[in-house]
Structure 1
């Protein structure tokens, strides 16, 4: 078995993509979008470092766009194999990719309107038709069931506790001397609302492990929840809005869960709450169809008086007109909108309308990659440019790290330590020095070999 690294492999946390050769076949693990600066995102247009038509099967760890965002491009460029993923991931994937295709089409249209005479026409990365072709290749799987995906290659998925349907991938090359590769995908935090805790890694000959927060621990969750409540109190006194950039899958639903759980002690009845993300609204339907994946506490909440997706003062902004109407409110609104790193989506309009207001508060509740607007704001930039305007940042910026969907350093070390074996590790999906710090800790505690992946690097097991 050979593994070759092609994405989220050189000190980056987006663009997850790893090629496995096993039993004479080629299996791709994830095919994610590269996110961040304009220069980083331009790399999505580049040819793959492998022939898409040569890939026999694709396995997806979960439905976040940095893990699935280039799958339609793979299909467009010749991939004709099956796409294996957990059942909930298969339900989420078309929602995520149709949104990405729509954004790509709109961006191409704007670019073509602005291009000079004689310049070549800009084509979108992929279209909605490409997404439909992708959807037809999906092969849904439950957790824990072995599946032969190619002759001599079997697959089993385990719950990663990151988002609904997120999976730890166990890939086995059968034969006289079987070899097992485990890919962590993104490992969730223990105690994350709605989701079950991540399962321990199965025995493996090699473990590909994410390292997003390899150099730090999150704030304790109860302290984080208390911090959120205090932000709402301060914002109410300041008279402004609260803008929360949030991913449509996972973070938006978790926020609504906390709103329901603390509706009275946070005095949320005094606020107008908006979920400004048509995609997040569709995702809520997927959550409702997969309550079998909820933890026991979430199942209890869903049967309670205040259901997270049906709060009395929650409004879902479906249309552009609904979204524009929110921006007429200068105070008293909690606005949860995509995207989570503020690099696209409706949240940019809400930031454009609130960043210059001293009474406004902006709350970041997830990882902010280098080059994104979210990272600039978290790092304290005092002026940003949005929709052609220079905007002075007068709003208060908060980073609430305890709501991260990723395990922190302690969680990652605990997860590895709970495994059925002590395999060598290749760290992926992490910036430097985060993964360097995690590598040192893993070696110090377990004496194992730890390698930092690099694009094009090959590893045999």
Structure 2
């Protein structure tokens, strides 16, 4: 068998459960992410134990790389460790701060609430964690095999997100040593023409995302594993998204209703707060927007927001300039955070009866659980309210159903009960944390040396097929590139 070989353990023909195994040779491999399946991609349509299990051998896995800390990319980490993985868990400095928060929450929801067990597990994660600065090469500890190294580049998806460049050296070439602790460079990489470079995109962000710089394409790739979440569409009005968000907030004020935003606790919540602070800051002194209350109802989101504030050295230049001018983009007067569960229930009841408008941000982003469900149960049946979706809604999730059936006055199933949809449900794709088709094509086009093979993953089949066609149309005629739509595999190799 010719190496490298890539086996997709999840997230190939769907948008959740990302897990990709890069085989260096028959005895050594690297795992890129180990995420949770959600929606219809979960076995039996739920989070059953079968879809959490690691159903492949882990003895060959020398390292796991975390592209970012969303649950669909790291949610199976507890089960990977339970399966016996004891190698390094490699991530960027911001992800190292955020990862324990995500894993602790995931353990409480799907594994155990025993504090001692959780602490023991978190200690194990910390012991295996390797914090790798961006652009620094790390040597993979192979066993009687060929040398390999990897490094992380900023992906612009959420704070700490990265795409992965992995170099595999043939014939025992040891020029990549020493790597750990040494700063790599593109010029040095180009000198090693006998290496095979495999790039895993993880989830790529889009230009003009709040707080984050846009990702820059790698110089080269021989094999590119590329996400395709929005491979069949373009994001509308990205530069106008703040204005559109303001219009929805204004509409809530006019109707004396509430703007309900399902959002993931990490990434999207902080970006929305950043934009809402700017909307209130720019509003005139007599504007009703000055009276708008912003409610974040999620203890986890509050912890992430605090972590984001501590990690502002990783923000983009615009965000850091706001801080230097004395503004507090993630901590402002109109912001109110709900912590305790009893306080949450009281807030739902108060808003249900109140005619004072508010913007409510609560998890989960696909309405597959969490506190957002109680808000929707109370408010979906009232035409005064709006539900604003700013992220991807996977097939089979209540979020996807609300968007589908709201225009026809349908219903959605929440906790086993039907709830009529009378509130307006809208999508604002300008806040998507994912690159769209144009951005994904540009990620490839801007490489100086194009891939010989592109493997399109992390997308539904229509999105993958559309992106394949777009890439074929945009790549030069003299570019010899095989574009593959792989499937998941549970086979050992």
Using the size of structure 1 for normalisation, the TM-score is: 0.91
- Matched residue, 1:450: 483
Measured after TM superposition, the shift of residue 18 of structure 1 is: 0.7
Give how far 1:150 is off: 1.6
Q: Does 1:45 align with 2:50?
A: yes
Answer whether contact 1:214 1:437 (CA < 8 A) is retained.
Answer: yes
Shift of 1:43: 5.8
Deviation track 1:63-122 (CA, whole Å, cap 9, x = no partner) reads 11100010111001211111001111111111111111111158xx9xxxxxxxxxxxxx
Deviation of 1:384 after TM superposition, in Å, equals 2.0
Contact kept in structure 2, 1:188 and 1:198, CA below 8 Å:
yes
Q: 1:167 to 1:36 in 2, by over 3 A?
A: same
1:360-439 residue pairs with structure 2 within 5 A?
360-381=385-406, 382-423=410-451, 424-439=453-468
Alignment of 1:174-323 (within 5 A): 174-176=169-171, 177-263=194-280, 264-265=282-283, 267-323=288-344
Structure 1's 5 and 81: CA in aligned 2 closer, same or farther, altered over 3 A? same
CA distance in 1: counterparts of 2:10 and 2:57, whole angstroms: 15
Q: CA offset at residue 307 of structure 1?
A: 1.2
Q: Is the 8 A contact 1:196 1:293 kept in 2?
A: no
- Deviation of 1:449 after TM superposition, in Å, equals 1.6
In 2, Cα distance between equivalents of 1:321 and 1:72 = 30
Distance 2:61 2:83 in 1: 11
**In 1, distance between residues paired with 2:297 and 2:290?**
19
SS in structure 2 at match of 1:326: helix
- Rounded to whole Å, the distance in 2 between the matches of 1:41 and 1:305 is 46
The match for 1:16 is: 18
Which secondary structure does the structure 2 equivalent of 1:136 belong to? helix
Match of 1:157 in 2: 152
In 2, distance between residues paired with 1:371 and 1:134? 32
1:2 aligns with 2:16: no
Q: State the Cα deviation string for residues 349-384 of structure 1 (Å, max 9, x = none).
A: 111111111211110000000011111111125112
Cα RMSD after superposing both structures: 2.1
Q: 1:146 aligns with which of 137, 147, 161?
A: 137
CA contact (8 A) 2:253 2:288 kept: no
Q: TM-score normalised to the size of structure 2? A: 0.85
| 3-state SS of 1:61 partner | coil
For structure 2, which runs of at least 5 residues remain unmatched after alignment?
Answer: 172-193
For 1:454 and 1:397, locate their aligned partners in 2 and report how far apart those are by CA, in whole Å: 33
Instruction: Evaluate the alpha carbon distance shift between residue 34 and residue 269 of structure 1 in structure 2; reply closer, same or farther with a 3 A threshold.
Output: same
- Deviation string 1:363-416 (CA, Å, 9 cap, x unpaired) is 000000001111111112511233454321111111111110001011111111
What is the number of residues matched between the two proteins?
Answer: 441
The 5 Å alignment of 1:3-152 reads 3-10=6-13, 12-23=14-25, 24-37=27-40, 39-42=44-47, 45-46=50-51, 47-105=53-111, 129-151=120-142, 152=147
Q: Who is 2:351 aligned against?
A: 329
1:101–1:128 contact (8 Å) kept in structure 2: no
Secondary structure at the counterpart of residue 351 of structure 2: coil
- Give the whole-Å Cα distance in 1 for the aligned partners of 2:421 and 2:94: 39
> What is the distance in 1 between the residues matched to 2:133 and 2:288?
40
Which stretch shifts more, 311-320 or 301-310? 301-310
Taking a change above 3 Å as real, the CA distance of residues 61 and 103 of structure 1, as seen in their structure-2 partners, is same
Q: Is the 8 Å Cα contact of residues 63 and 87 (structure 2) preserved in structure 1?
A: yes
- Partner secondary structure for residue 460 of structure 2: coil
Superposition misfits of 4+ residues, deviation over 4 angstroms = 126-129
SS in 2 for 1:88: helix
CA contact (8 A) 1:153 1:172 kept: yes
Q: CA deviation at 1:267?
A: 4.2
Instruction: Identify the match of residue 470 of structure 2 among 441, 456, 460.
Output: 441
Counterpart for residue 379 of structure 2: 354
Distance 1:36 1:284 in 2: 26
How far the C-alpha of 1:208 sits from its partner, in A, is 0.2
